[in-house]
Amino acid sequence: MRNSRHLKLIGLVLLIAFTAMLTACGSRQDDLNRYIAEVKERPATPIPPIPPVRTYTPYKYEGLTGRDPFRQSTTDGAEQVAQSNSGSGPRPDLQRPREYLERFDLDTLVMVGTFNKDSNEWALIQDPDGTVHRVSVSNYMGQNHGKVSAITNDEVLLSEFIADGAGGWLVRDASIALGGS
């Protein structure tokens, strides 16, 4: 008999809880129906017109009257200048293996700090992927054969080789400041 009363009490509690849940769902349903009706009553915004289709204008190759696409664009005699400059002036070592940070432009690399141990000094450089690399003097960075020449607490100093367009190379100083500024 005691079990029967206990089961009836549990059943009554479950019935009250179920009724309360249905009542709560019903009020939420009314709010939802009101919101849907309100949205349907709003005026529709006009759809912007489709942009006009631009007509394709074919390029007409002019043959000998235009620039030769297989020739350097700087000057007509660039081949002779390149041959005469082939042995003189500064040049990057094109035979050395490329280092990892040479695949990035210098403006995408950020100096995030420095550290030293014993007499060795390193700069910490963050690449665009967020990976931090350790760099010391004589390491290479950037796509212009940039060689690290000095490391200070505030910046990394580099010497880059820039092609002059006539077969030679120019040396340009560059730097990466702490924090990328």
* Per-residue pLDDT at 32: 84
173 is a domain residue: yes
Whether the per-residue pLDDT at 140 is higher than 90: the answer is: yes
* Per-residue pLDDT at 77: 42
Q: What is the pLDDT of residues 32-87, one digit of tens each?
A: 888 899 988 998 888 889 988 888 888 776 666 666 666 555 444 444 444 444 55
98 is a domain residue: yes
Residue of 170, 154, 66, 62 whose CA lies nearest to 114: 154
Quick one: 82 exposed, middle or buried, by C-beta within 10 A (0-12, 13-18, 19+)? middle
110 is a domain residue: yes
Could you give the CA distance from residue 162 to residue 102 in angstroms, rounded to a whole number? 14
Place 3 in a pLDDT band, splitting at 50, 70 and 90. Answer: confident
Q: What is the pLDDT of residues 87-125, one digit of tens each?
A: 567 888 888 899 999 999 988 999 999 988 888 899 999
* Per-residue pLDDT at 167: 77
8 is a domain residue: no
* Per-residue pLDDT at 82: 41
Domain count, the chain: 1
User: What mean pLDDT do residues 12-26 have?
Assistant: 76
Whether the per-residue pLDDT at 11 is higher than 70: the answer is: yes
59 is a domain residue: no
Cβ atoms of 172 and 162 closer than 8 Å: yes
Whether the per-residue pLDDT at 169 is higher than 90: the answer is: no
Whether the per-residue pLDDT at 137 is higher than 70: the answer is: yes
* Per-residue pLDDT at 88: 65
State both tokens at 19: 């009724």
* Per-residue pLDDT at 157: 93
Residue of 92, 102, 144, 96 whose CA lies nearest to 125: 102
12 is a domain residue: no
58 is a domain residue: no
- CATH code of residue 137: 2.30.30.830
Q: Which residue segment(s) compose the domain that 119 sits in?
A: 92-177
6 is a domain residue: no
Report the relative pairing of strands 169-177 and 155-163 from DSSP bridges: antiparallel
Cβ atoms of 121 and 114 closer than 8 Å: yes
